[in-house]
């Protein structure tokens, strides 16, 4: 033990009797306020265990006091007091030390905070109080601190672990016991810092007493030393708790865990949604696509009890699903055109290659840990490959028009301009793959978690070895190969821009050109000398270099070739507290509008999950499934929890985070733009919308749309598409705005889709008013489609005969399959056009047109009142085409259309 007990004999005897009462209690020291209640106490407090925590409790080292960056009154402490040596030096050294060993009460740590008039922060404790005696006894014993005796806190035990209030006002006292590595147990309740995540529901005072406030649930956070513990606090919304709670079916484990918490809150879930509501929601969530009118009719008519699970499985096989979730992963990983300037002389651009690389793996349903490994462990050439061999391989890739997606790793992730420093890489990586905000620990101990500045410094070390470079280092043997390539291409001596253009031109001419690469510096180059922490030592390898991965696992970096390898091993281990939970939580938030932890990139101890067992179950199941993303989608979307209606009942009207009902939510920008196009598209486009990605905003790769996609740029900006600047969830906006309303009501792009020749309204005009050219146009397109299929079949045969790579053959087969699908649609349209008018299935009467408009936009039929209003408008319209155009405009501008519910 690092402190001494020198209590008077009587008090010591009392303690011994107290300890003897129970074996459990015997090892637990009473609270400091009890032990220092007697003015004659002789115990010497411990600087780490008592003095610094007491200063934290009093607010001395908080942000607004001496813990701020500039300190206060010429006195600066580490924020929340986790740099013990620095804090001790600040008290003992300098021109005006805060400790006066000769005159204890004249010490500023006593005289200032006990005088409310001279101390800017007011009176923090009173002379003669137990706090006063703690500081006084510590100073009287020499105000000592030995950095070699810093103890390790094993855990902080807080009881009760959960607080469940009743209907009447109540108060609950928390108890916190520190358990140290040396076996010491001490009640540190009066030394902890207590904060609440919602002061209206659970106000907590400085002594750890929680009062029952408003109805609902939140957490109280208890902090001591490096420990941060969250205590759930619940006050039921109704009296429907315990035996009063109604019987609620729980078909899946998700439902069981959600209902378990709702039972404590007295909240009953809404019923399962109708088929129409479910079908629209699941289509938008999984594939970012509306169901077609025919799909709605068929799904409602289907009596198969397994039809919802079948629909989920069907959507998971569509290209639209792949595109939507590829876009999410591009958001998370930071696929930003502006940050990828001059990555390589490619034909499509690096953002398209990034998108294609992820798309291919989502399409294959590659396990998420493998996909992440391909990003995190990316390097351009395998060990043993020369620089020239790498350049020949890359040049050959583009000469043969093969996809970058065939490469094993995504090197572009390491090439971003905002991802060059170890600090930026550590922060971006933590956002993307761990769902945590670690940047606070760059300067001080993280306020809501256990990470210290030392932890951050160690963590960023894992991002110092890999680097993106446009050419080999001059000290590397590959530099001569680079120079030889430049000489062969005759581009030496030209400025940077001219040289890059010439190299790109030479590549199209079939030449081998130099490529930028992600390389690993020699291990010695990233080792740091103790006195030069954070600086490279390129000359002398350090025989031993230890670094902690966020304080959890110590690694000797001198014994690994790629120092990202132990990081990836730690990240992918089943016991990792972040990796699986981070992606599970993000996916859940897409389906429910809010994460189990919210915000989704803040999985800190101070921001606990709203339903911890639920997050634990999904994360464990995801790992057990082999990181199968489709398992995760099926598990979530197949639950009653997901399928519940948005319509509230009397108990859950104010529930936004416990998943008792669906929450109407804004659509992602790409989906909002796409469904406007889909709803107004002609029948041919509509029928095949989920199977093709042509002109879809969801398939725009980077942040700067090119070509025809530029038409979508303004709309995507208005609806808050992710800027992908920082890997933070805040890069995407899901907030409603006036500009979104103005866009839907008045933008020329939207109005054009209601009038142009390629839309549904124009198609109806042709069908209603007659168009003799329609049959000929369809016949011509059908014939062109048949010729295209013949050419595709011949091309595949040639490729197989010539030994073309299987990857290219598969791509050609996919294009052929898409062409066949388009031809089938055209042939059905031609067949329908040739039918007598009475036999055509295309609606032309007003009632059918109204039904079709509602099904196209809201995925349901209108009710009697809606149908009556629409039909009255048609009677006033100049003709049916004007009536349907007006109706479509009105429906596109409803909240029901532009939100998912």
Cα gap 133→114, rounded to integer Å: 12
User: In angstroms, what is the C-alpha Rg of the chain?
Assistant: 33
pLDDT over 60 at 533, yes or no: no
Q: What is the pLDDT of residue 259?
A: 97
Q: What is the pLDDT of residues 511-532, one digit of tens each?
A: 899 899 998 887 655 654 444 4
Q: How many CB atoms lie within 10 A of CB 533?
A: 11
Mean pLDDT of the chain: 85
Q: What is the pLDDT of residue 788?
A: 84
Average pLDDT score over residue span 174-201:
94
Q: How confident is the model at residue 61 (pLDDT cuts 50, 70, 90)?
A: low
Q: How confident is the model at residue 547 (pLDDT cuts 50, 70, 90)?
A: confident
pLDDT over 50 at 841, yes or no: no
Torsion of Cα atoms, 726 then 732 then 735 then 738, to 10°? 100
Tokens of 345: 């002389």
* Bridging pattern class, strands 175-180 and 185-187: antiparallel
Q: What is the pLDDT of residues 586-608, one digit of tens each?
A: 999 999 999 999 999 999 888 99
pLDDT over 50 at 240, yes or no: yes
Q: What is the pLDDT of residue 106?
A: 85
Cα gap 134→188, rounded to integer Å: 14
Instruction: Parse the chain into domains and list their residue ranges.
Output: 9-23+32-145, 153-235, 334-434+437-571, 772-839
Q: What is the pLDDT of residue 382?
A: 84
Q: What is the pLDDT of residues 254-267, one digit of tens each?
A: 999 999 999 999 99
Q: What is the pLDDT of residues 97-127, one digit of tens each?
A: 888 888 888 888 888 777 766 666 677 878 8
Top-level class of domain 153-235: mainly beta
Q: What 3-state DSSP class applies to 416? A: coil
Burial of 634 (0-12, 13-18, 19+ CB in 10 A): middle
Average pLDDT score over residue span 372-400:
91
Q: What is the pLDDT of residue 444?
A: 61
Q: What is the pLDDT of residues 662-674, one digit of tens each?
A: 999 999 999 999 9
> Quick one: CA dihedral 234, 237, 243, 248, positive or negative?
negative
pLDDT over 50 at 821, yes or no: yes
Q: Give the residue carrying structure tokens 């989608």.
A: 633
Highest mean pLDDT, choosing among 609-623, 706-720, 761-775: 609-623
pLDDT over 70 at 825, yes or no: no
**What pTM value is reported for the model?**
0.85
pLDDT over 60 at 798, yes or no: yes
Tokens of 20: 């003897």
Q: What is the pLDDT of residue 371?
A: 98
Exposure class string for 97-124: b at 16+ Cβ within 10 A, else e: bbbbeeebeebbbbbbbbeeeeeebeeb
Average pLDDT score over residue span 340-367:
87
Q: What is the pLDDT of residues 141-165, one digit of tens each?
A: 898 888 877 888 899 999 999 999 9
Q: What is the pLDDT of residue 780?
A: 76
Highest mean pLDDT, choosing among 210-219, 481-490, 762-771: 210-219
Cα gap 244→267, rounded to integer Å: 11
pLDDT over 60 at 337, yes or no: yes
Q: How confident is the model at residue 283 (pLDDT cuts 50, 70, 90)?
A: very high
């Amino acid at each position: 033990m690092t402190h001494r007990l020198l209590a008077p004999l009587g008090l010591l005897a009392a303690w011994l009797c107290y300890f003897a009462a129970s074996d459990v209690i015997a090892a637990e020291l009473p609270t400091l306020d009890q032990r220092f209640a007697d003015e004659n106490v002789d115990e010497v407090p411990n600087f780490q265990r008592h003095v610094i925590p007491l200063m934290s409790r009093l607010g001395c080292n908080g942000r607004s006091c001496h813990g701020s960056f500039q300190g206060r009154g010429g006195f600066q402490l580490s924020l929340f007091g986790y740099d013990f040596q620095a804090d001790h030096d600040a008290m003992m050294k300098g021109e005006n030390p805060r400790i006066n060993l000769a005159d204890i009460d004249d010490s500023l740590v006593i005289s200032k905070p006990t005088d409310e008039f001279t101390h800017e922060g007011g009176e923090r404790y009173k002379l003669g109080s137990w706090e006063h005696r703690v500081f006084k006894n510590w100073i009287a014993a020499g105000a000592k601190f030995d950095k070699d005796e810093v103890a390790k806190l094993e855990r902080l035990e807080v009881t009760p672990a959960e607080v469940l209030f009743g209907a009447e006002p109540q108060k609950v006292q928390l108890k916190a016991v520190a358990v140290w590595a040396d076996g010491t147990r001490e009640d540190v309740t009066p030394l902890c810092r207590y904060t609440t995540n919602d002061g209206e529901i659970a106000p907590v005072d400085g002594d750890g007493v929680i009062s029952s406030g408003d109805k609902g649930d939140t957490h109280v956070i208890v902090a001591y030393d490096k420990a941060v513990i969250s205590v759930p606090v619940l006050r039921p919304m109704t009296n429907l708790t315990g035996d009063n709670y109604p019987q609620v079916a729980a078909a899946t484990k998700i439902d069981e865990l959600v209902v378990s918490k709702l039972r404590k809150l007295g909240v009953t879930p809404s019923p399962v949604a109708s088929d129409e509501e479910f079908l629209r929601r699941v289509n938008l969530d999984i594939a970012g696509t509306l169901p077609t009118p025919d799909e709605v009719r068929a799904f409602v008519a289907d009596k198969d009890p397994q039809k919802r699970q079948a629909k989920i499985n069907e959507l998971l096989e569509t290209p639209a699903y792949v595109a939507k979730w590829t876009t999410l992963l591009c958001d998370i990983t930071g696929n930003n055109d502006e940050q990828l300037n001059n990555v390589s002389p490619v034909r499509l651009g690096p953002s398209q290659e990034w998108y294609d690389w992820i798309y291919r793996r989502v399409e294959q349903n590659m396990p998420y840990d493998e996909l992440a490994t391909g990003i995190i462990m990316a390097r351009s050439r395998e060990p043993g490959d020369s620089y020239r061999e790498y350049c020949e391989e890359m040049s050959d890739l583009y000469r043969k028009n093969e996809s970058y997606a065939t490469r094993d790793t995504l090197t572009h992730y390491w090439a971003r301009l905002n991802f060059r420093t170890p600090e930026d890489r550590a922060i971006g990586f933590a956002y993307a793959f761990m769902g945590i905000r670690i940047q606070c620990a760059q300067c001080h101990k993280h306020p809501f978690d256990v990470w210290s500045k030392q932890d951050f410094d160690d963590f960023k070390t894992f991002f110092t070895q890999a680097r993106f470079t446009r050419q080999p280092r001059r000290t590397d043997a590959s530099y001569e190969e680079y120079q030889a390539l430049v000489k062969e291409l005759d581009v030496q001596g030209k400025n940077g821009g001219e040289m890059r253009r010439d190299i790109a031109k030479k590549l199209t001419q079939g030449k081998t050109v130099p490529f930028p690469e992600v390389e690993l510096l020699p291990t010695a180059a990233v080792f740091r000398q103790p006195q030069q922490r954070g600086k490279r030592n390129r000359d002398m390898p350090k025989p031993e270099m230890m670094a902690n991965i966020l304080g959890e696992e110590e690694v000797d970096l001198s014994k690994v070739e790629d120092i990202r390898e132990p990081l990836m091993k730690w990240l992918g281990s089943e016991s990792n507290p972040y990796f699986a939970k981070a992606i599970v939580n993000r996916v859940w938030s897409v389906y429910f509008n809010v994460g189990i932890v919210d915000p989704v990139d803040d999985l800190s101890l101070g921001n606990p999950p709203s339903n911890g067992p639920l997050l634990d179950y999904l994360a464990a199941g995801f790992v057990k499934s082999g990181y199968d993303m489709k398992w995760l989608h099926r598990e979530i979307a197949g639950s009653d929890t997901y399928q519940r209606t948005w319509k509230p009942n009397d108990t859950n009207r104010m529930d936004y985070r416990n998943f008792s009902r669906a929450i109407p939510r804004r659509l992602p920008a790409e989906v909002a733009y796409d469904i406007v196009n889909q709803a107004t598209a002609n029948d041919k486009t509509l029928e095949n919308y989920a199977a093709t990605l042509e002109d879809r905003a969801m398939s725009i790769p980077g942040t700067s749309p090119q070509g025809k996609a530029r038409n979508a740029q303004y709309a995507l900006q208005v609806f808050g598409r992710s800027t992908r600047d920082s890997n933070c969830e805040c890069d995407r906006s899901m907030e409603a705005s006036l500009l979104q309303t103005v866009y839907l009501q008045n933008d020329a792009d939207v109005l054009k889709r209601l009038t142009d020749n390629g839309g549904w309204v124009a198609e109806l005009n042709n069908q209603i008013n007659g168009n003799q050219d329609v049959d000929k146009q369809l016949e011509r397109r059908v014939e062109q489609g048949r010729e295209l299929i013949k050419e595709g079949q011949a091309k595949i045969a040639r490729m197989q005969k010539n030994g073309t790579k299987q990857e290219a053959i598969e791509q050609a087969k996919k294009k052929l399959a898409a062409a066949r699908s388009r031809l089938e649609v055209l042939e059905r349209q031609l067949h329908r056009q040739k039918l007598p008018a009475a036999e055509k299935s295309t609606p032309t009467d007003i009632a059918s047109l109204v039904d079709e408009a509602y099904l196209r936009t809201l995925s349901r039929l209108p009710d009697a009142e809606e149908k009556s209003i629409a039909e009255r408008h048609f009677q006033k319209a100049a003709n049916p085409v004007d009536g349907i155009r007006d109706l479509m405009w009105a429906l596109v501008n409803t909240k029901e259309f532009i939100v998912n519910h």
